[in-house]
Amino acid sequence: MINPQENGFREEIKIMHNPSQDEFSEENNLRLRVWKQKAEALYIQKWYLKWKCACFFYLKQQLIRIRTTASILIQKRIRGWLVRKAVKPILIKKIIKWEHGGTIVLVYGTFTSSPWTEPIPMFFNKYLSYHISTILSDKIILPGDYLVKFQIDGEWKCNGNLPISIDEKGNYNNVLIVTRKTKRLHRSMRLRSISHDVLTNESIVISNKNSPILLTRQCMSSGPPNKMDLHNSVPNREIKLLMGSFMAAKPKSKVSNKIESADAYFLNTRLQAFAIADGVSEWDEYGIKASNFSKELIKNLNECVSEKTIDRDSLEQDICTAYNLVKSYGSSTILAGICKDSMLHTISLGDSGYMVLRPKEYSKGLMIVYRSSVQQHSFNCPYQLTHLPTEQDYESLINSGYNLLINLLKQRNRCYDSIVDSVQEIIPLRNSDIIIAATDGLFDNLYDQDIIAIVERHYIKLTSENLANLLPKILVQEALKKSWDNTYKSPFSRNAAKVGKKYIGGKLDDITVLVLVAVNNLE
């Protein structure tokens, strides 16, 4: 064994202080608490940053959503205000309209301080898609009849939607009638005033090709004047119309038997002509048989149509001749048409209408290629041809017991619509086209899509001849079924709601339907 003392070495052994177990634990706990506090602080700081970022992103998205919603709402309000401002003249019904195209449209008339010298500019309304002038509401215009004429891009024209008159020099002008607000009139008497100098039925010129009236007829389409030159197109002489019809009379009430229909019609397959007249049944309340006028008008028109009836102008002359030959009192709407060289020429006055259906190219369905418009002075008050007694006949009618009728006539002015107010169209036909012509009894109870659905269910199964013969009865039966439904939201009830009237259910009315199917002449 080595002795450190012997080797000269002396090792000093220093005994280090050995801390107790309690002191070691206390120091570690202190460090752990510090580390835990730092970790909690870091966690809180990290969580706070995440929460701050999330809140900022959420608030940003909310602000973007609120800003987008507000901008859309503001745009809608502004656009709605612009639209209401644009159509306000329509609501007050004090505007002059030009619906036949043109860039610079001016109107001259006798209602200005210096007649025929002060041009009134007409502005194009993009929401209405035609030119309007609010001169009648901007200035005080006294009630009366005024002559007006339109200048379209430097060319003088008459408006086919307004009455036409001839002055002493033979010039054609439109008649503008300014009236005061009056009490609501009887449906049969609420008719547009036509002064004595307005072009009458007998003076309609159809032989002079340069007549302004013929120019007016060309301007009555919805597009620019002479947009489609139908007269210069090559006619297709292979189309003819197969015709069928069905009529149902209106019952007096839902518990009574049917009465005689006030509707009348004719079909002429040889001349390819047809017509419908819807008589005003309210005349029965005044002792006048409403069906007499419509039947006599249609009978006279059937006799007037001949080989010389080749277009809508000659058809208009035939209607005028037939109307002048009517002796019965009453009134009715009129819808007439003739097919020549595969062109359907139509004249419509009032709320009897028609639609032209055409098969789709790549499917078995049908589409509407034309739908006639309705002419009404007010709701359920259509344009119509009227023949009533003159003052010379009052005494004899009173002796015959027509006191109620004479009292009504004495309270109202003798103001009637004219065939000049009618809507006239030319429609090129194709093979398999289907024309549905009917009185308002059909269109007041069936929507257009319902009519199309009914026709689509049958036109594939039936031949063209059977379709023309059977489809009218099917449509009338469907319309009758809807007219008896007291809970049905009919087209008539919806139109009534638009003018503030409350009406629920179908409308009981005379229903007449004509179906014309276009086929090749060789079939």
Q: What is the pLDDT of residues 119-176, one digit of tens each?
A: 999 988 777 788 888 888 778 788 777 888 999 998 888 887 778 777 667 778 888 8
Neighbours of 98 (CB within 10 A): 21
Angstrom distance (rounded) from CA 444 to CA 14: 121
pLDDT at 278 over 90: yes
Cα-Cα end-to-end distance for the chain = 143
Q: Are 496 and 502 in contact (CB under 8 A)?
A: yes
- CA 459 from chain centre, in angstroms, equals 27
Angstrom distance (rounded) from CA 283 to CA 460: 43
Within 378-439, where are the H helices? 394-399, 403-411
pLDDT at 388 over 70: yes
Coil, helix or strand for 417? coil
Strand partners, 97: 132
pLDDT band, residue 519 (cuts 50/70/90)? very high
pLDDT at 415 over 80: no
Coil, helix or strand for 5? coil
Tens digit of each residue's pLDDT (9 = 90 or more) over 448-490 = 999 999 999 998 889 999 999 999 999 999 999 999 988 999 9
Coil, helix or strand for 382? strand
Q: Are 456 and 366 in contact (CB under 8 A)?
A: yes
Angstrom distance (rounded) from CA 182 to CA 378: 13
Tens digit of each residue's pLDDT (9 = 90 or more) over 292-337 = 999 999 999 999 999 998 888 899 999 999 999 999 989 999 999 9
* 282 residue type, one letter: E
Nearest to 475 by CA among 448, 505, 507: 448
Q: What is the dihedral of CA 289, 290, 291, 296, to 10 degrees?
A: 90
Q: What is the dihedral of CA 108, 110, 114, 120, to 10 degrees?
A: -30
Provide φ and ψ at 9, rounded to 5°.
-100, 145
Average pLDDT over every residue of 501-512:
90
What is the residue whose two structure tokens read 């006599």?
Answer: 296
Average pLDDT over every residue of 83-96:
64
Residue 63 confidence (pLDDT): 83
Residue 455 confidence (pLDDT): 95
Residue 378, token pair as written in the block: 């007010």
Residue 122, token pair as written in the block: 């007409």
- CA 428 from chain centre, in angstroms, equals 22
pLDDT at 85 over 50: yes
Angstrom distance (rounded) from CA 299 to CA 313: 20
Average pLDDT over every residue of 22-40:
76
Residue 89 confidence (pLDDT): 56
Residue 132 confidence (pLDDT): 85
Burial class (CB in 10 A: 0-12, 13-18, 19+), 109: buried
Residue 180 confidence (pLDDT): 60
Angstrom distance (rounded) from CA 474 to CA 360: 23
Give the helix/strand (H/E) hosting 174. Answer: strand 172-178
Angstrom distance (rounded) from CA 87 to CA 81: 10
Residue 356 confidence (pLDDT): 94
Nearest to 193 by CA among 135, 145, 248, 239: 145
Nearest to 103 by CA among 150, 153, 149, 151: 153
Q: Are 305 and 339 in contact (CB under 8 A)?
A: no
Question: Which of 3-17, 243-257, 264-278, 426-440 has the weakest average pLDDT?
Answer: 3-17
Residue 432, token pair as written in the block: 């398999």
Angstrom distance (rounded) from CA 181 to CA 113: 24
Give the helix/strand (H/E) hosting 28. Answer: helix 21-92
pLDDT at 81 over 80: no
